[in-house]
Every structure is written in structure tokens, then in C-alpha cells.
Structure 1
Amino acid sequence: MNDNTSYTGYLAWQFSQAMGARLEKELRTLDLTLAQHSALQRALNTPGVSSADAARGAGITAQSMGAAVNGLVERGLMERRPHATNRRVLCLHITEEGRHLAERARALVGGVNDDALAILSPAERATAHDLLHRLVEHLNPAALPPHT
């Protein structure tokens, strides 16, 4: 029998769906969505990022990111500031309260990650991480931080 589970991409999608559901459930305890978490982390790691770049990095639409950012701005966790040279672009900056929440969320996400990967040995985890990193770099490089 040749079903979808014979495709690595399908299995990766299933894993992504399961992880996304776990992450959403845990992030709800901090009153965050996965998109809001992505926006906070992107603004924390790349101060002044545009909403469009944050959306590309998260793999979601600009409209979805806009809604996520609106909620964060309303809660005082993030600010939109004008771009230095392009008046049409608004840059995202995390507030001090947002920074604290982002750090709590990052720790929570780490716990979900550790729990999900507990079935793998440390060497298997490293291999899986390296392979997924290469695939994301190939398919959605905007999701990764810039090389330093």
C-alpha cells in the first residue's frame, strides 16, 4: 500500500500540525496565539522588522500578521514606529512588558519542544534539527535569522 505516509513532506506536515496544536494550547496560557508569539520573537530578535517581513518569517499572510500585531499593540506589548526612510513602512518594536512575555513564551516553547522530542536520543535530535534547518533554509529562508 502506498499512502501519504510514504512521503517525507507529508510526515513533516503531520508533525508540524501536531506541534502547532501543542504550541497554540500552551501559548494560550499566556494569552498569545502562535502568530503573536512569532511577531514578538521576530521583533525581539530583529528590532524594527516590518510586519511584512515578520509575516514571511512566520510563513503566514500579511493580513494574519497584521491582526496578530494589532492585538499586541493594543496590549502594550509592541509598538509600531515609522521607518527611517520609507514612510509607507511601519517597524515593529517590542516593549519592555513584551520582552518579558516573549522570554516566558520562549521558555514555554522550549518545554513543548523538549517534550515532543523526548522519544529521540540527543544525537537523533541534533540530526533531525540539522535536516529540518536545511529544508527550511531551502524552502523558506525568511523563517531563519540572518547569518551573522
Structure 2
Amino acid sequence: MTDGPTDHPTPTGDVTERLGYRLKRAAAALRGAMDRALREHGLTVPQYACLELLDQQPGLSNAELARGTFVTRQSMNVVLRGLQEAGLITRAATTDHGRALPAHLTEDGHRRLAAARSAVYAIDQRMTDAVPPERIAALLADLDRMAEAHGG
């Protein structure tokens, strides 16, 4: 007996019928739509996600923002530097405790977020409208269980 990948039966031989493939296809479509919409506002998806989090929870650190936006801390450093150079966030040069430098939206950051938000929410609404309303709660619960199955 071998432990090769073909030793495990699959529900279908067509990879495009697999749940993971379909989930990745939907995520790629969402990301593409968001990339196009946010480009008009001079933002990337990670930058937008960072602005949204800072609007909801001002003062988050690099590590907290990285976790919340699903990027590495190193990538978040680049995102924050870009947002700071664009005048959309401020970060203290030093902090009283620890190494975390809390970030806050500037007035320009609030304005840019508000302008981009309607485009992103419209994309989310199109995706939501594609699912029958009576199935939304179950779908959301299923997605949460899938993420939790892999430690997410």
C-alpha cells in the first residue's frame, strides 16, 4: 500500500467540481472585482481592508491589522507605509509601551474610505444577491465552519 495522492478516493475526477476549487473561483472573482473598483480610488484590497479596520477600531497595531486583513506583518508594514505616505493614516514615531505603533485614519483617510466603501459594498451586495435570501444564514455558517476546520 502506498501513500500517494491517488490512493484517496475523490467524489469526482473533475477538479472543477471540488468545493475548494469553487470556493477559490468565487474568491478570485471577488478579488478581481474589488481590485478594479478600488483602483479608481487609488487603493489596493489590503489598503482598503486596513482603512476599514482602522475606521472600526482606531489605534490597531501592525500585527493586529495584519491578522485582520489576512496578510503577513511584513506585508502590512508595506501597506501602512504606503497609506502613511499618501496621508491616509498617521502613526506615532514612538510608543509608551511595547513596540506596537498604533495607526489612525486622517481626515483624508476617512474621505477616501467613504468614497471607496460604496463601490466595495455594491460588489458585496451583487454577490449576496446571487444567493437566495433564505440560504444566506446557512451559507455564512457553512463558510465559518470551513474556515474553522482549517484553524481559521
TM-score bracket, shorter-length normalisation: 0.7 to 0.9
Long gaps (5+) in structure 1: 142-148
Moved more, 28-37 or 10-19: 10-19
Percent of aligned positions that are identical: 30
Moved more, 129-138 or 89-98: 129-138
Question: Is the contact between residue 35 and residue 64 of structure 1 (CA under 8 Å) also seen in structure 2?
Answer: no
Long gaps (5+) in structure 2: 1-11
Distance 2:131 2:30 in 1: 15
| Equivalent position to 1:54, from 62, 65, 80 | 65
TM-score (norm 1): 0.82
Partner of 1:94: 105
The 4+ residue runs of structure 1 with deviation greater than 3 A are 133-141
Paired letter, 1:30: H
Partner of 1:80: 91
What is the total number of aligned residue pairs between the two structures?
140
Note the C-alpha offset of 1:61: 1.7
Which structure features the higher share of strand residues? 1
Partner of 1:107: 118
* Alpha-carbon distance change, 97 to 140 in structure 1, aligned in 2, over 3 angstroms: farther
Cα RMSD, aligned residues only: 2.0
Distance 2:107 2:58 in 1: 13
| Equivalent position to 2:48, from 37, 47, 69 | 37
Greater C-alpha Rg: 2
